[in-house]
Structure 1
Amino acid sequence: MRIYLVRHGKASKDPSIPTDAERPLTKRGRADVEAVARQIAQSGVDIHQIRHSGLVRAAQTADILGDHLQPPGGVIAVKGLHYADPVERLAHELHMEPYPVMFVGHNPFMENLVSLLLTRKTGLTPVWFTTSCTVCMEFIEGEWSIRWVLNREIMPGKD
């Protein structure tokens, strides 16, 4: 079973935006997510559903990914993916997912989730989730492993 963990694209820091939850992607953030989404789609990744935190920047990231990946289960907002949420509940439930799912969220949540899945501890940061970073993880014989990591900084053709 595979899961895909994505940190949202680069978000605006405009002080006129009323709340953190409303911060949208910047032009660069959109471009980076588009590039990552194209690369993932070209690789033939099969994703059943994309779930995001509901914050504007995560929703926009998920929608861009959804446009490229066309998951049959759609793109939906779920609770439990915010930056301050505990990772234990999701970590416990992941191995029960019947289909490959992509989760779009925030740091430090994403880094703590990968840490917990790989080491059974949070806070060890085995992967640095830069904005738009995607990590594919696989659950085999009771253990999680990282299959691949993709971010805009290491992609071919980066400008």
Structure 2
Amino acid sequence: MKTLGLFRHAKSGWADPRARDFDRPLNERGEKGALLMGRYIRDHGPRFDRVVASPAIRVSETIDIASKAFGRSFPVEWDRRIYLASSATLIDLLHALDGDPDTVLMVGHNPGLEDLIFDLVPDDGSSPLRDEVEVKFPTAAFAVLALAVDRWSDVAAGCAKLVSLTRPRDLDPTLGPELVG
């Protein structure tokens, strides 16, 4: 059995319209969400043996801020292939993990992370959490999947159960969808 955590970067801004997508930083709401979710992961998430992440600015800032909630930093394996990756690419990255750690946290982007959940968790009506992801896997969302495999190289479609899903708005309603009045 393997455990996979998926953490989508927090809310980023478009303050500089000339900035490349890769270079977009978190906005104020994103900073608040990253700190809140970091505390949640510290208190309720599994202990991760390995962290792999996109090197995009909004991901690195999410990790930096979430680390403050842990009270320590942790080693991150930066992999540019995670930036805007498809589910197939993310599965390939999982297959190639060295050392076969028991628990892995992947920090990245949509639609790849959301699609990875759809590919790994069967759509058989048994997972109300999967149905929630179908509604939206928003910025700073955190999901934990239990994979019925002994090695990461065995990860395949339908091998996982979505154990938990937490969104910033679940912890602080002010971090939910912005209402247009």
TM range (shorter): 0.7 to 0.9
Whether the aligned pair in 1 keeps the contact of 2:55 and 2:78 (CA below 8 Å) is yes
Take 1:49 and 1:7, find their aligned partners in 2: how far apart are those partners? Answer: 16
Deviation of 1:68 after TM superposition, in Å, equals 3.5
Take 1:106 and 1:93, find their aligned partners in 2: how far apart are those partners? Answer: 14
Is 2:33 aligned against 1:25? no
Take 2:87 and 2:110, find their aligned partners in 1: how far apart are those partners? Answer: 11
Unaligned runs of 5+ in 1: none
Which amino acid in 2 is paired with 1:76? E
Which structure has the greater CA radius of gyration?
2
2:163 aligns to what? 147
Which amino acid in 1 is paired with 2:16? P
Whether the aligned pair in 1 keeps the contact of 2:9 and 2:140 (CA below 8 Å) is yes
Q: Deviations over 1:20-78 (max 9, x none)?
A: 11100011101111001101111262012222111100111122233444575x12311
Is 2:94 aligned against 1:91? no
Deviation of 1:99 after TM superposition, in Å, equals 2.9
Query: Secondary structure of the equivalent of 1:147?
Result: strand
**TM-score normalized by structure 2?**
0.73
Runs of 4+ in 1 over 6 A off after TM superposition: none
Query: Secondary structure of the equivalent of 2:31?
Result: helix
Whether the aligned pair in 2 keeps the contact of 1:59 and 1:77 (CA below 8 Å) is no
2:146 aligns to what? 138
After superposition, the CA RMSD in angstroms is 2.4
Residues 24/118 of structure 1: CA separation in 2 closer, same or farther (3 Å cut): same
Deviation of 1:92 after TM superposition, in Å, equals 4.8
Query: Secondary structure of the equivalent of 1:80?
Result: helix
2:114 aligns to what? 111
Deviation of 1:146 after TM superposition, in Å, equals 0.5
Unaligned runs of 5+ in 2: 124-129, 150-154, 175-181
Whether the aligned pair in 2 keeps the contact of 1:33 and 1:61 (CA below 8 Å) is yes
Query: Secondary structure of the equivalent of 2:82?
Result: coil
Residues 18/79 of structure 1: CA separation in 2 closer, same or farther (3 Å cut): closer
1:102 aligns to what? 105
Report how many residues are paired.
Answer: 152
Larger proportion of helix: 2
Whether the aligned pair in 1 keeps the contact of 2:64 and 2:73 (CA below 8 Å) is no
